[in-house]
Amino acid sequence: MSQVFSEETHRNMLSRIPQCTGREVSDWLRTVDEGPALVRFEEKVSWLRGAHDLAYGHAKAIIHEHDLRRAARHL
């Protein structure tokens, strides 16, 4: 699993993403689903930052949330 912020920091970061990016978190998660099939966490973060001009913290939070939700679907 990825190394990320505390749970509280992660939730705070997610709550600010729509205001900072103009897009809802669900839109970003869909973008990750439709993006390239990268395996490593940092590769996904780098792709999201480069392709969509996101700040590192926002990209990291989006990828972490994507990974959390994907893991929950497979339980």
pTM of the model: 0.89
Q: Which of 1-5, 25-29, 63-67 has the lowest mean pLDDT?
A: 1-5
Domain that holds residue 57: 37-74
Residue 62 belongs to some domain of the structure: yes
**% of the chain at pLDDT higher than 90:** 83
18 with 25: CB under 8 angstroms? Answer: yes
Long-range contacts of 40-49, Cβ-Cβ distance < 8 Å, separation of 24 or more = 41/2, 41/3, 41/67
Residue 50 belongs to some domain of the structure: yes
Nearest partner of 49 among 30, 68, 19, 21, judged by Cα: 21
Q: Is the pLDDT of residue 4 over 60?
A: no
Residue 5 belongs to some domain of the structure: no
Residue 54 belongs to some domain of the structure: yes
Please count the structural domains in the chain.
Answer: 1
Residue 27 belongs to some domain of the structure: no
